[in-house]
């Protein structure tokens, strides 16, 4: 019997170390920080937690190592209501991790070490056939090998389900993958790279980029930070959704929160405008919440 409809997240898991300081160091410079804290992340892990927080049943597919970071990442998913039974634990790999340095204004830079995320075996996706069914939405990102994303998208589309690709971080995406995607979601930087359009700084610019990207995909969401997001699809539908105005504590993870909430809303069969409103609201709540309280 097929399992109940769910958001399936195929993607990365990282153990993050968050460092706060007056600024990010220049080459050869040592900066005295003010605080540090661990955090479970990775775009896949963040989006899984976000979708679960929005009320969706969520299953995570990924990989960790047999180390303390991996145990912590699996425990965090379970504690946040995410089914992590399909996350592989690899004896010969270290878990993915990152170090993010925040400055006094809440901006950050990060270094990611992908580890086990790059060792996900496409054959792993066939381990549980009931993950692929027509009622499901599969969410992909670009922090794992594209060959894995291609196999996941192929399996989901063959079963009649839907696929969201969050093409982040910014890197080339094959047309073969985009042909299997129902909704492409990109931020300003990713939209500029994939579409070759001018800088995306306004909702009008986001809409222009979304329309250009329709040459490669059937439906596109372009986010423009606090300005909001724009949606366009091949049927002619167009939607601009202004961002919610909040006092920003930190933008870290805002895009992942948007994606998870969007997937949960689409799983619940909300119309696209309502789904984007829900995603905007979730992202606004996150960025207005201090890191320590998330």
Active site residues: 256
* Phi then psi dihedrals of residue 212, to 5 deg: -65, -40
CA 86 remoteness from chain centre: 18
Partners of residue 139 on adjacent β-strands: 9, 164
DSSP structure class, residue 268: T
Whether omega for the bond prior to residue 274 falls within 30 degrees of 0, making it cis, is no
- Interatomic CA distance for residues 266 and 22, integer angstroms: 40
CA 217 remoteness from chain centre: 18
- Interatomic CA distance for residues 263 and 98, integer angstroms: 25
Please name the residue that has the structure tokens 């460092």: 19
98 token code pair: 């990152």
In DSSP notation, 254-294 reads HHHHHHHHHHHHHHTT--HHHHHHHHHHHHHHHHTS-GGG-
Residues 6+ apart with CB under 8 A from 189: 170
Quickly list H helices, 82-202: 146-158, 175-178, 188-195
Query: Among positive and negative, which fits the CA dihedral 233, 147, 139, 185?
Result: negative
Exposure letters 231-242 (e unless 16+ CB within 10 A, then b): bbbeeeeebbbe
101 neighbors 21 (Cβ within 8 angstroms): yes
């Amino acid at each position: 019997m097929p399992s109940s409809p769910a958001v399936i997240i195929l993607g990365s898991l990282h153990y993050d170390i968050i460092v706060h300081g007056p600024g990010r160091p220049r080459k050869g410079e040592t900066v005295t920080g003010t605080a540090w804290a661990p955090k479970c992340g990775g775009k896949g892990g963040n989006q899984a937690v976000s979708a679960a927080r929005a009320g969706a049943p969520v299953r995570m597919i990924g990989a960790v190592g047999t180390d303390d970071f991996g145990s912590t990442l699996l425990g965090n998913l379970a504690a946040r209501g995410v089914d992590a039974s399909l996350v592989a634990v690899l004896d010969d790999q270290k878990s993915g991790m990152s170090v993010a340095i925040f400055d006094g204004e809440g901006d950050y830079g990060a270094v990611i070490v992908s580890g086990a995320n790059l060792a996900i075996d496409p054959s792993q996706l066939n381990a549980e056939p009931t993950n692929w069914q027509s009622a499901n939405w599969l969410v992909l990102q670009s922090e794992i090998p594209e060959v894995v994303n291609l196999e996941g998208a192929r399996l989901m589309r063959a079963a009649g389900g839907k696929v969201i690709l969050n093409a982040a971080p910014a890197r080339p995406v094959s047309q073969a993958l985009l042909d299997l995607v129902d909704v492409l979601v990109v931020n300003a930087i990713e939209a500029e790279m994939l579409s070759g359009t001018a800088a995306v700084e306004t909702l009008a610019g986001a809409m222009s980029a979304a329309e250009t990207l329709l040459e490669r995909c059937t439906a596109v969401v372009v986010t423009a930070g606090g300005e909001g997001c724009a949606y366009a699809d091949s049927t002619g539908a167009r939607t601009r959704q202004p961002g919610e105005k909040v006092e920003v504590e930190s933008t870290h993870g805002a895009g992942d929160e948007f994606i998870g909430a969007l997937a949960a809303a689409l799983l619940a069969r909300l119309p696209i405008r309502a789904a984007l409103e829900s995603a905007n609201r979730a992202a606004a709540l996150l960025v207005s919440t201090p890191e320590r309280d998330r």
